[in-house]
């Protein structure tokens, strides 16, 4: 099969562009720059997470349970072997992917996924395996973390994977939808961010170590369903974005041991229109840095630090599912000073956003015929 780029070049050489290929490249205007959005790869089933390998190839997860490599020209590999058993149902399946900070030496790949736990219950799990030299299989795959308790529901799994600067791993965990009150219970992992060592176990310096009534892996609590997370490129702090219900999507900078309020406080309402909790503020519960109302259903985020879009440097790029857009947030320190909503013309659910090693922006579209989009300056 020809890659999209080669096929388009052939069509141009023949003086004709097939209609399907013509739609693969669009020129769009944003507030500060005109961009070209091109399809790098297609026919991915609900792609969820993306990570760049040192040779600029990509690892991409598909929610039904496949992990693939994508070459720079868009060529898609056969599924990588050696993955753990994955429960693909509802919003669950194979979710995020991250490389070990010293991947070049140890070739370790980390995956988050929905895992069957028996008796109809399942939970978010993290495993790691060693990618073989030809990139066709994971070896020595083992589980390093399981969200407890397992649950029968199929929604709100989280889950993004982000390494801190010390080589420990943040994992964002959802409230499993109908266990939302448990997000306030420090005795479990529901609606929490956990901070673990790369081999598993609570990371040193966690806020609740050696307390019998609290899970030692917990970093922060009171979260709903976090599907966006990234380290600030200057401070090294973790920033996250989580789904609200009807309104109240939140951007936070989760500090260790702090409580972010769900479901006691929220800037949204329930899907029925009913009030959630006690209002928007309560003493002892943290306020978001920024929130969206109505909801855009955020998923995937990246701090832009590259040279290809100098006018965006320092911005946060957040994908949106129901909003079908990319939200560009301008920041000043820990404050959001402005928002631009981009790429609404595409009409695509944006599942993940990543800055590539080339300084371009890469997007995953969430559909049964999902695409990898590459955004570059029109000039």
Tens place of pLDDT per residue across the chain (379 aa) = 444 444 434 433 333 333 333 358 999 999 999 999 999 999 999 999 999 999 999 999 999 999 999 999 999 999 999 999 999 999 999 999 999 999 999 999 999 999 999 999 999 999 999 999 999 999 999 999 999 999 999 999 999 999 999 999 999 999 999 999 999 999 999 999 999 999 999 999 999 998 989 999 999 999 999 999 999 999 999 999 999 999 999 999 999 999 999 999 999 999 999 999 999 999 999 999 999 999 999 999 999 999 999 999 999 999 999 999 999 999 999 999 999 999 999 999 999 999 999 999 999 999 999 999 999 999 8
Spatial distance between the Cα atoms of 123 and 146, rounded to a whole number of angstroms: 7
pTM of the model: 0.93
Spatial distance between the Cα atoms of 281 and 261, rounded to a whole number of angstroms: 8
Spatial distance between the Cα atoms of 356 and 292, rounded to a whole number of angstroms: 27
The four Cα atoms 113, 304, 240, 238 give a dihedral, to 10 degrees, of: 100
In Å, what is the CA distance from 216 to each residue of 197, 208, 256?
12, 5, 12
3-state SS assignment for residue 12: helix
Scanning the structure block, which residue is given the tokens 């579209």?
365
Backbone torsion region of residue 209, taken as left when φ is above 0, otherwise alpha when ψ lies between -120 and 50, otherwise beta: beta
Closest listed residue to residue 111, CA positions, set 124, 93, 98, 101: 98
Q: Could you give the residue ranges of the DSSP H alpha helices within the chain?
A: 4-13, 19-22, 103-106
Topology of domain 44-325+348-356 in CATH is Neuraminidase (2.120.10)
Beta-carbon contacts of 319 under 8 Å, excluding residues fewer than 6 positions away, are 228, 298, 299, 300, 301, 326, 327, 350, 351, 352, 353, 363, 364
In Å, what is the CA distance from 203 to each residue of 183, 196, 337?
20, 4, 34
Q: Burial letters for 312-332: b for 16+ Cβ neighbours within 10 Å, e otherwise?
A: beebbbbbbbebbbbbbbbbe
How many Cα neighbours within 13 Å face the side chain of 246? 8
Question: Which one of the listed residues 151, 156, 223, 243 is annotated catalytic?
Answer: 156
Scanning the structure block, which residue is given the tokens 């997007």?
363
Residue 232 is a catalytic residue: no
The four Cα atoms 200, 107, 239, 330 give a dihedral, to 10 degrees, of: 180
Query: For residue 5, what are its two tokens?
Result: 């780029």
Specify which residues 122 forms β-bridges with.
Answer: 116, 151
């Amino acid at each position: 099969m020809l890659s999209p780029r080669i096929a388009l070049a052939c069509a141009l050489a023949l003086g004709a562009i097939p209609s399907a290929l013509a739609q693969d490249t669009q020129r769009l205007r944003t507030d500060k720059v005109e961009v070209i959005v091109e399809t790098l790869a297609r026919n991915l089933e609900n792609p969820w997470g993306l990570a760049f390998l040192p040779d600029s190839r990509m690892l991409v997860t598909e929610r039904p349970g496949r992990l693939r490599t994508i070459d720079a020209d868009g060529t898609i590999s056969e599924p990588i072997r050696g993955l753990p058993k994955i429960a693909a149902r509802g919003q669950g399946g194979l979710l995020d992917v991250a490389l070990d900070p010293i991947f070049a030496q140890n070739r370790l790949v980390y995956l988050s996924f929905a895992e069957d736990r028996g008796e109809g219950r399942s939970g978010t799990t993290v495993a790691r395996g060693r990618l073989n030299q030809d990139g066709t299989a994971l070896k020595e795959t083992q589980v390093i973390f399981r969200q407890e308790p397992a649950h029968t529901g199929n929604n709100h799994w989280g889950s993004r994977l982000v390494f801190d600067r010390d080589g420990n791993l943040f994992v964002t965990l959802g409230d499993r939808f109908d266990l939302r009150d448990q997000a306030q219970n420090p005795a479990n992992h529901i609606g929490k961010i956990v901070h673990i060592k790369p081999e598993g176990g609570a990371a040193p310096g966690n806020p609740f170590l050696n307390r019998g009534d609290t899970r030692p892996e917990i970093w922060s609590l009171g979260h709903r369903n976090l599907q966006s997370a990234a380290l600030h490129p200057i401070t090294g702090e973790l920033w996250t974005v989580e789904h609200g219900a009807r309104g109240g999507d939140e951007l936070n900078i989760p500090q260790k041991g702090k409580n972010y309020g769900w479901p006691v406080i929220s800037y949204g309402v329930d899907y029925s229109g009913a009030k959630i909790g006690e209002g928007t503020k309560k003493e002892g519960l943290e306020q978001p840095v920024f929130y969206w109302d109505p909801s855009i259903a955020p998923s995937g985020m990246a701090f832009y630090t590259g040279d290809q879009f100098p006018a965006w440097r320092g911005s946060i790029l957040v994908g949106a599912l129901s909003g079908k857009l990319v939200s560009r947030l301008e920041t000043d320190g820990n404050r959001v000073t402005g928002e631009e909503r981009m790429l609404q013309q595409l009409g695509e659910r944006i599942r993940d956003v990543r800055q590539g090693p080339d300084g371009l922006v890469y997007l995953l579209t969430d559909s049964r015929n999902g695409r990898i989009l590459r955004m570059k300056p029109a000039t």
